[in-house]
Chain A
Amino acid sequence: MVENRPILTFLTHAILIVGVVFLCFPVWMALVASTHGPGALSQSPIPLWFGDQAWENYSQLLAGGLPEAGGVPIGMMMFNSAIMALVITFGKIVISILSAYAIVYFRFPFRMGFFWMIFVTLMLPVEVRILPTFDVVVKMGLLNTYAGLTVPLIASATATFLFRQFFLTIPDELVEAARIDRAGPIRFFKDILLPLSRTNIAALFIILFIYGWNQYLWPLLITTDESLYTVVMGIQRMVNSGEALPVWHYIMGTAVLAMIPPVLVVVLMQKLFVKGLVESEK
């Protein structure tokens, strides 16, 4: 398909533009809605351009609490979300890279048994094991703690599997060269395996950060204390605020704020990620 016909060029662009508009319209609406006053969104037609309330809305969201969201300031919820996402991300990466290292490079009894045990948990998403996990967390007294919020989500078969597959592609000669160079298991891991896994780690960081940030069901179960609410929960609580009319301009503002960290992570890490992919290493 290297034909150069103007009509085809026009058509492909038209399709792409429609797709972009289709995808971006909700985001645009959220941005627009967050800049209007409370009344503007309950009447028709819904405004499609920015209003003049942006400053007021956002300063209210960031500084003061909203009674509709239980009076918790958005900043606090963002902080909780960030803690949760970061702990989950780092925890998952650390645990899975270490377990993959053990499974690939060490010969211990029941090695494959352990691998399959980890692998089988791939089939069980959080939702399936949520009740037993909740029970464990309760019995350990971890309700309403950051530990309860993050630790049960850290174990990751997917990431372990990914690292395992990557480690298997590293030539044996490299391991042997390191052994001759007197690198013990820890040195080999630190000096050779970790730097080589850099791009994999970056890719996983993006995926896992978004996974952690967007967790909804688990924090909803595990936290009753308002100071531990995450921003995704906050949005949901604002929408279901009982008798009162939903405050759409605040909700949309919160949604826009909640979008910023994942977008930042993608934008910043993608550079490293793409660079790693382009820089084909031998």
Chain B
Amino acid sequence: MATLNIKSLGKIYPGGVTAVSDVNVDIADGEFIVLVGPSGCGKSTILRMIAGLESITSGDLQIGERRVNDLEPGERDIAMVFQNYALYPHMSVRGNMEYGLKNEGLPKDQIAERIAEAARTLRLEEYLDRKPAQLSGGQRQRVAMGRAIVRDPKVFLFDEPLSNLDAKLRTQLRAELKALHQRLGATFIYVTHDQVEAMSLADRIIIMNAGRVEQIGTPMDLYLRPASRFVADFIGSPAMNVVEGTVTEDRRGLLVDGSRDIRFADEIPATAGARIAMGIRPEHLSPDASGAAQFHLVVDFVEQLGADTVVHGKVSGTTVPLAVRLSGVQQHGSGEILELGCAADQLHLFDLSTGQRLN
């Protein structure tokens, strides 16, 4: 158990491709950090640099008080769970779990003790003498976790560990993982491309895009106050509505496709004529004419989900699609016009060229 400090970490591959640049983050002891982003954003590269499987081009990496940039993976006191489990196929479950401990030179009775405990935690006791090929995907993943647990490392690293499993098992193992984190109280760093996984597991999320950190924050920070349009798009399901337009002369409206339907209660923090994007989550829109932003929606069709009703339509006078999530059962016909608004703190404005948040 330890803190982890990353200072201006960068990775440039020999071919000249920059995979990661200038990542700064201080991870507290026992924190569950999720690195999330689309594929190729550098999240796995960061994890592999922390593990020591990828060399660090620039910056510093500290685990505990120790700078580990130049240490071998085995010397960093970390454990890693791989996406495809990476179990040794010729060894039994027990053999897989004890291999690292044997290499460390731990006494036999201690090894046996640790394995017994990990097997109990992960409900693997009856499988200890089986080979990985005789186990199901979920069991293999648990063995991979067991191999990490027995090492009692300072930091656990997970590289998309659930993405090879089916949806039901993924949900189940996600809950197990969360419980495991609470029980062990160790520092977890977890890579995924699935924002739901990130939201449900993380204490803090690091969201990455094209080798750069877009935002670091708690899941609710990211959800309620995305720092950029990229974060706004990535976090939340169904996805946030984003309407692109030009700020009107009085800076209280958005010109979209020649329509001036969208009006704001306050002045927009951008110059008149600037191109901006307005983001509002479907669940934050309500039939309320007094919000910080108001407009009309022409209904196309309605999805009844029981608990919610999702209304799909277009912003009046435009071809911009927009979804509204209303609670309960609501009846709306095609072509009907709804008057919608949202609260000031649920309205997100982004500069269209830089993608950065304006309000």
Contact = CB atoms under 8 A, between A and B. Distances in A.
A282 B99 contact: no
B100 interface: yes
B82 A173 contact: yes
Contacts of B51: 176, 180
B90 A195 contact: yes
Contacts of A196: 89-90
Interface string A265-282: 000000000000001111
B69 to A, nearest CB: 16
Q: Which of A182, A195, A196, A198 neighbours the largest number of chain B CB atoms within 10 Å of its CB?
A: A182
Contact of A183 (B87, B103, B132): B103
Contact of B80 (A180, A192, A281): A180
Interface stretch (B57-65, B71-79, B230-238): B71-79
B133 A282 contact: yes
Contact of A282 (B52, B79, B89): B89
Q: Which of A173, A180, A192, A279 neighbours the largest number of chain B CB atoms within 10 Å of its CB?
A: A180
Interface residues of B, number: 26
A181 B103 contact: yes
Given A173-B84, A281-B89, A282-B133, A180 B73 contact: yes
Contact of B100 (A174, A182, A282): A182
Given A179-B73, A180-B100, A174 B88 contact: yes
B80 A177 contact: yes
A171 interface: yes
Q: Which of A173, A187, A195, A281 neighbours the largest number of chain B CB atoms within 10 Å of its CB?
A: A173
Contacts of A282: 89, 132-133
A191 interface: yes
A178 B89 CA distance: 12
A281 B135 CA distance: 12
B53 A176 contact: yes
Given A187-B103, A191-B99, A281-B133, A180 B88 contact: no
B345 interface: no
Contacts of B87: 177
A196 B84 CA distance: 18
B86 interface: yes
A182 B51 CA distance: 12
B86 A176 contact: yes
A180 B90 contact: no
B113 interface: no
Nearest to A281: B89
B221 interface: no
Interface string A87-114: 0000000000000000000000000000
Nearest to A181: B100
A252 B228 CA distance: 88
Given A173-B82, A282-B132, A181 B99 contact: yes
Contacts of A187: 103
B104 interface: yes
A176 B133 contact: no
Nearest to A194: B90
Contacts of A195: 90
Interface string B86-102: 11111000000001100
Given A173-B86, A195-B90, A196-B89, A183 B73 contact: no
Contacts of B80: 176-177, 180
A279 B132 CA distance: 12
A192 to B, nearest CB: 6
Contacts of A171: 84, 86
A191 B53 CA distance: 20
Nearest to B99: A181
Nearest to A176: B53
Contacts of A180: 51-53, 73-74, 78-80, 100
A177 B86 contact: yes
Interface in B99-127: 99-100, 103-104
A181 B74 contact: yes
A182 B104 contact: yes
A176 B73 contact: yes
B82 A176 contact: yes
B82 A177 contact: yes
Q: Which of B78, B83, B85, B104 neighbours the largest number of chain A CB atoms within 10 Å of its CB?
A: B85
A195 B90 CA distance: 7
Given A187-B103, A282-B132, A282-B133, A179 B53 contact: yes
A191 B83 CA distance: 22
Interface of B: 51-53, 72-75, 78-80, 82-90, 99-100, 103-104, 132-133, 147
Given A180-B51, A180-B100, 14 more contacts: A173-B83, A176-B51, A177-B88, A177-B147, A180-B53, A180-B74, A181-B99, A181-B100, A181-B103, A182-B74, A182-B103, A183-B103, A281-B89, A282-B133
11 contacts: A171-B86, A173-B82, A173-B83, A177-B80, A177-B82, A177-B147, A179-B53, A182-B104, A187-B103, A196-B89, A282-B89
In the A-B complex, the 7 residue pairs with the smallest Cβ-Cβ separation, listed nearest first, are A182-B74, A181-B100, A173-B86, A182-B103, A177-B86, A281-B89, A195-B90
